[in-house]
Structure 1
Amino acid sequence: MIKVLIVEDDPMVVKFNKYYLEQVGGFELKGVAASADDAFSVLEKEPIDLILLDIYMPGINGLELLSQLRKTDTNVDVIIVSAAKDSISIKKALQHGAVDYLIKPFEFERFSAALSSYKNREKFINSKEHISQEELDKLLHYKQQPSSLEAFPKGLDKNTLKLVWDKILEIKDTAFSTDELAVLLGISRVSIRKYLNFLEEINALKKEVIYGSLGRPIYKYKYIKSNTNSINNYL
């Protein structure tokens, strides 16, 4: 389990972050801190792998806290979760090693994608003694710029697409509906439908109409093994 500390002074945001964290799975909340001083107190007592860090806090702000962490031997990763969206704050956060940056307000699927991506990265790195350039490129989602025909579709998020596709690969032998996949991923039906429509457009999925006992049509999707490569250019 990845041990998490939430550093946030807004109780309502803390409540939502706790709930979201539980939905993703693989993470254990070890503490909540409303200030930098409280955060350092938790870090002295608990081994923490990941901090969900707000920027706007009383006293020492999140960026100053992140800077102080990088001056110590504290081996902890940070994902910024903040309403700060100015380029200076974002640049400073990335310069000090934040592994992701979520701008409030955000949808659950973006939070889920950030946490899932981090979890997969940690699992991969911890399982390897040596990593090849090819493996590292995949880990960092590096690839050459796509051609105009492969341009990433507007309105979709690459991390969320990967999250959806990974789940489809897990259940690839079973036909599934939009509702069923939405429940499995904890993502809204509206969002899931956008990704399924895209996967159908590139022939990675096939949609079938199944009529129930009352004659109402139910749309089910099936994984198309022969066309798996069609999605590789987008991941």
Structure 2
Amino acid sequence: MIKVLIIEDDPMVAQLNSYYLDQVGGFRLVDTAGSAADALQILREKKVDLILLDIFMPGINGLEFLSQLRKKEIESDVIIVSASTDSQSIRKALQYGAVDYLIKPFTYERFRDALNDYKKRELLMQNKEKLNQKDLDKQIFYKEEEEVIDKKAELLPKGINRDTLKLVWDHILKTKGESFTTEEMAQSVGISRVSMRKYITFLCDQEVLITEISYGAVGRPVNCHRLNQLKVKSFKTYLKDL
């Protein structure tokens, strides 16, 4: 288990970070500290692998604390968790060896990804005495992953986000061939009708949706869409390529 210390002067934020930490496997909270002085005392008494560190704290701020850690040769890794967005603070955090930087308010998904990335790096370091360039690029610097994402993005037209497209597609599959309007699908997915219209147009261009005009008893005709079952398999393959 990776032992974690949370340094955060706001008790509610510390509690939230602790809760998030519990949701990610492979980590155990050792303690929490509301100041740099308290944190140094904890580090004298307990082994800590990873520190989740706020910058704005009473007394010594997080960056000064991080500098002290390095001078004292304390080898605990640090992920900054802060509302500070100025480039100077971020630059200093990286220069002092922070392995990641989370800007408040952040999502649980970003928090989870930061911890999982750290866990992967630690496992790699522990399981291999020597690393080659491929290991470093893929597992540490994520260069290959970034190149793949860039190439995938090129397959989509401007304004179409890969993750949102998959989310829309999953909701459309749930209709099981029943017709729906753009507004209905926008409400189901949780995005604006204008945004949904772009995704519906894209899916129609791919011929994976069939559009029909519905004439109600009152009001104007409405465009309704439904899955083209003949194209579902080929579009699933397309999504895998993304």
- State the TM-score bracket (shorter-chain normalisation): 0.5 to 0.7
2:43 maps to 1:32:
no
Shift of 1:96: 0.6
Q: Which runs of 5+ in 2 are unaligned?
A: 164-169, 172-188, 192-198, 203-207, 209-231
Alignment of 1:178-217 (within 5 A): none
Cα distance in 2, alignment partners of residues 107 and 68 from structure 1: 29
Distance change in 2, residues 1:60/1:142 (3 Å) = same
2:21 maps to 1:8:
no
Match of 2:57 in 1: 57
Match of 1:129 in 2: 129
The one-letter amino acid paired with 2:83 is A
2:152 and 2:241 in contact (8 A); partners too? no
Cα distance in 1, alignment partners of residues 16 and 132 from structure 2: 38
2:7 and 2:52 in contact (8 A); partners too? yes
2:105 maps to 1:99:
no
Match of 1:74 in 2: 74
Match of 1:212 in 2: none
Cα distance in 2, alignment partners of residues 147 and 22 from structure 1: 29
Distance change in 2, residues 1:121/1:89 (3 Å) = same
Cα distance in 1, alignment partners of residues 8 and 130 from structure 2: 36
Shift of 1:31: 0.7
Match of 1:48 in 2: 48
Shift of 1:127: 0.6
- CA deviations 1:122-155 (Å, max 9, x no partner) are 1111111111111111012024856975448889
Distance change in 2, residues 1:47/1:115 (3 Å) = same
SS in 2 for 1:101: strand
The number of residue pairs the alignment matches comes to 177
Match of 2:241 in 1: 230
The TM-score normalised by the length of structure 2 is 0.63
2:4 and 2:30 in contact (8 A); partners too? yes
The one-letter amino acid paired with 2:94 is L
The percent of aligned pairs where both chains have the same amino acid is 52
Shift of 1:230: 3.1
Shift of 1:73: 2.0
SS in 2 for 1:58: coil
Shift of 1:56: 0.1
Distance change in 2, residues 1:124/1:24 (3 Å) = same
Q: Considering Cα pairs closer than 8 Å and 6+ residues apart, tell me whether 1 or 2 has the greater RCO.
A: 1
CA RMSD of aligned residues (A): 3.5
Match of 2:142 in 1: 141
Shift of 1:226: 8.0
Q: Which runs of 5+ in 1 are unaligned?
A: 162-176, 179-188, 192-197, 202-206, 208-220
Cα distance in 2, alignment partners of residues 89 and 76 from structure 1: 20
Cα distance in 2, alignment partners of residues 155 and 35 from structure 1: 44
Shift of 1:227: 7.8
- CA deviations 1:54-81 (Å, max 9, x no partner) are 0000000000000111112211100000
Cα distance in 2, alignment partners of residues 147 and 97 from structure 1: 27
The TM-score normalised by the length of structure 1 is 0.65
2:84 and 2:103 in contact (8 A); partners too? yes
Runs of 4+ in 1 over 6 A off after TM superposition: 152-157, 224-229
Cα distance in 2, alignment partners of residues 32 and 46 from structure 1: 12
SS in 2 for 1:15: helix
